[in-house]
Structure 1
Amino acid sequence: MNVRRRLISTTALAAAATLGAVTLSACSGSSGAAGSKEDGKLDVVASFYPMQFLAERIGGDHVTVNTLTKPGVEPHDLELKASQIRELGRADYILYLKGLQPAVDEAIQQAGVEHTVDAATLTELEEHGTATGDDHGHEEAGHEEPGHEHGEGEAGADPHIWLDPVKYTEVAKGVGASLEKADPDHAADYRKNTAELVKKLDALHGKFDQGLKNTTTRTFITTHSAFGYLAERYKLDQEGISGLDPESEPSPARIKELRDTAKREKVTTVFFETLASDKTAKTLAGDTGLRTDVLDPLEGITDKSKGTDYIEVMESNLAALRKALGAK
């Protein structure tokens, strides 16, 4: 995956180790059960919004959730402060997605908290993304497989599992089970909250499945190749301007390919996202006479988001896809 690898600075790690040594030593050996804090709540640290949403919905009144990636910050670019690294060491429970944020991965490994859950282990990751120009002969012949994408980036494990409601449901179930283990006194509530969330995610999947079943075109163009799982689930073709890294620049050859694809596949819209520049999307749209619209990869909720939580923004994404694809 061609994502910028931002490493935590040696200075920050050293400072965290010095300032938080006592805390880390005390916490790493604890069971992490609720009641260890004065308010009796489980102290949860989530790496970024999709993990925060699960922790809050499933944890309910029994957890206090802090998020390392604040609203408006591009998760791939996150650099942790010493205070955030210390916060990790004090947590009862950590929920993150390995492979998305290298700085977070390194800090979590050093924190040594017993109840640390990697969401990537709760479902199966797949490879989305190809090297530039790969397999275009099949594309021209009309033999491209649904869900296949092209982009500027090497093939690798795609971390964007939360954009597929089915995979996100699998992760939710795993998070629920892990919270039961971390805080057995409230296991019944975690099971109940998990079941309620799973029901909502199943309903969301049903809306996508029915809403995207009959469309004029199956192809959509997006600046950030984050929608490989979604495209595969609902038999769509994602064409990414950039690869899995939202900040990578497309080559002139790639832009030409996209223009040809847009014409051939009757594409109407170039999608961009809320946390990255829309310059390339607007340039491509202007050159090809296409519209632009937002397809939110849901890496964070801000005042620009078309919804207040995961469910609402995903429903907004569905509406945007239906319009762009000519859903019937």
Structure 2
Amino acid sequence: MLPLRAVLIVFLLLGLAGTAVAEPLRLVASVRPLALLAQSVAGDGVEIVTLMEPGVTPHDFAFRVSHRRALAQADLVLWVGPELEPYLQAPLASKRQLSLQALESRPQAEDHGTGRAGGEAGHHDHSHGDEDHDPHLWLSRTLAVAMLSGLAETLAELDPPQASNYRQRAQQQIASLQQLALQAGSQPARPYAMAHAALGALVEEFRLPAPLLLSASPEIAPGARRLWQLQQQLQPGDCLLVEWPGPRAWQQQLAAAHGYRQPVIDLMGYDEEVSDYYELLSRLLGQVQDCVYGFAEKN
């Protein structure tokens, strides 16, 4: 017969095993807007990691060993898709994943470029192919709603006891997004410009005029012909949208020379005041409306 002390130890260990808390689900989002979507559904019970650190954009992202490790440990990965993030294709080949590009179901070009992984470096070319093409799919409300629904169902499969909570949170966020609406402008629409194609999904969703595009990338200053065309269409006081954290040297010089306004738009949701996806989309919509119609949306 076991001594009383040994029996007590056995019961204590069994009790601890019975009350052990399972590790939380691990979810990796490639960009912060997707992490914001995930947080609105997952709540506090899911560990969410964003690959792209604050201040980094798809223009200068480097895929590192630490990123590969985070992906390997993830139960679910949310990403934009191989068109914008070719470096994630191979690491995600056998992972449970949701991508905006797959939800969009758009035929893809045969060559998406290549990304290097496995080393501390690994920069990729983010020229988007041509300057009029826009892979910033997280700015589509329609795709965001589809992602929320898919995310709720996937988390419900991974964590059945919380299934109803995931679905309820997703429906609440979807309802909020569906309330976003374009204000009717009393003034004629004014032209506006930005460095490259980045707002296509947003302006298409809300049927706003598209911006004049100056280049294939913010890093590349437009040529003389493009600048001449811009000057024929924009007037002093019109908007030259610049991406967070602020204008590049050529944008500052252009705006100063012609009196253009330079609102800073935060496509990646890096502003600390942006706490959820609804706020990110609402802010961007308001800024574009302000440029087009001369006022910002009040939500």
What are the superposed Cα offsets for residues 234-287 of structure 1, whole Å, 9 maximum, x if unpaired? 2312112223x3333322211111111214xx8711110114643232222223
More deviation, 218-227/61-70: 218-227
Query: Counterpart of 1:314?
Result: 281
Q: 1:82 to 1:123 in 2, by over 3 A?
A: same
Q: Is the aligned partner of 1:80 residue 2:63? A: yes
Between the aligned partners of 1:62 and 1:55, the Cα distance in structure 2 is: 11
- In the TM superposition, what are the counterparts of 1:250-261 in structure 2 within 5 Å? 250-261=222-233
Between the aligned partners of 1:314 and 1:56, the Cα distance in structure 2 is: 15
SS at match of 1:250: coil
Query: Counterpart of 1:235?
Result: 208
Mind listing any 5+ residue stretches in structure 1 that lack a counterpart? 1-36, 128-150
CA contact (8 A) 1:47 1:69 kept: yes
CA contact (8 A) 1:95 1:116 kept: yes
CA contact (8 A) 1:267 1:324 kept: no
The amino acid across from 1:87 in the alignment is A
CA contact (8 A) 1:79 1:103 kept: no
Between the aligned partners of 1:106 and 1:302, the Cα distance in structure 2 is: 31
Q: 1:88 to 1:240 in 2, by over 3 A?
A: same
Between the aligned partners of 1:171 and 1:41, the Cα distance in structure 2 is: 21
Structure 1 or 2: larger helix share? 1
SS at match of 2:59: helix
Superposed displacement of residue 327, structure 1: 4.2
The alignment's TM-score, normalised by the length of structure 1, stands at 0.69
Q: 1:78 to 1:38 in 2, by over 3 A?
A: farther
Between the aligned partners of 1:184 and 1:252, the Cα distance in structure 2 is: 59
Between the aligned partners of 2:291 and 2:132, the Cα distance in structure 1 is: 28
Query: Counterpart of 1:62?
Result: 45
- In the TM superposition, what are the counterparts of 1:42-191 in structure 2 within 5 Å? 42-98=25-81, 99-109=83-93, 112-113=94-95, 115-125=96-106, 154=130, 158-191=134-167
Between the aligned partners of 1:83 and 1:195, the Cα distance in structure 2 is: 34
Residue number among 188, 192, 195 corresponding to 1:220 in the alignment: 192
SS at match of 1:280: helix
SS at match of 1:290: coil
Query: Counterpart of 2:260?
Result: 290
The amino acid across from 1:121 in the alignment is A
CA contact (8 A) 1:181 1:187 kept: yes
Query: Counterpart of 1:193?
Result: 169
Between the aligned partners of 2:135 and 2:40, the Cα distance in structure 1 is: 21
Q: CA RMSD in A?
A: 2.9
- Point out the structure with max Rg over C-alpha: 2
Between the aligned residues of both structures, percent identity stands at 26
SS at match of 2:104: coil
Between the aligned partners of 1:275 and 1:102, the Cα distance in structure 2 is: 25
Between the aligned partners of 1:212 and 1:307, the Cα distance in structure 2 is: 25
Mind listing any 5+ residue stretches in structure 2 that lack a counterpart? 1-19, 109-126
Q: 1:45 to 1:102 in 2, by over 3 A?
A: same
SS at match of 1:65: strand
The amino acid across from 1:322 in the alignment is Q
Q: Is the aligned partner of 1:323 residue 2:299? A: no
Superposed displacement of residue 96, structure 1: 0.8
Between the aligned partners of 1:119 and 1:290, the Cα distance in structure 2 is: 34
Count of matched residue positions in the alignment of Structure 1 and Structure 2: 256
Higher relative contact order (CA 8 A, sep 6+): 1
The amino acid across from 1:158 in the alignment is D
SS at match of 1:56: helix
Between the aligned partners of 1:155 and 1:292, the Cα distance in structure 2 is: 20
The alignment's TM-score, normalised by the length of structure 2, stands at 0.75
What are the superposed Cα offsets for residues 119-146 of structure 1, whole Å, 9 maximum, x if unpaired? 211235599xxxxxxxxxxxxxxxxxxx
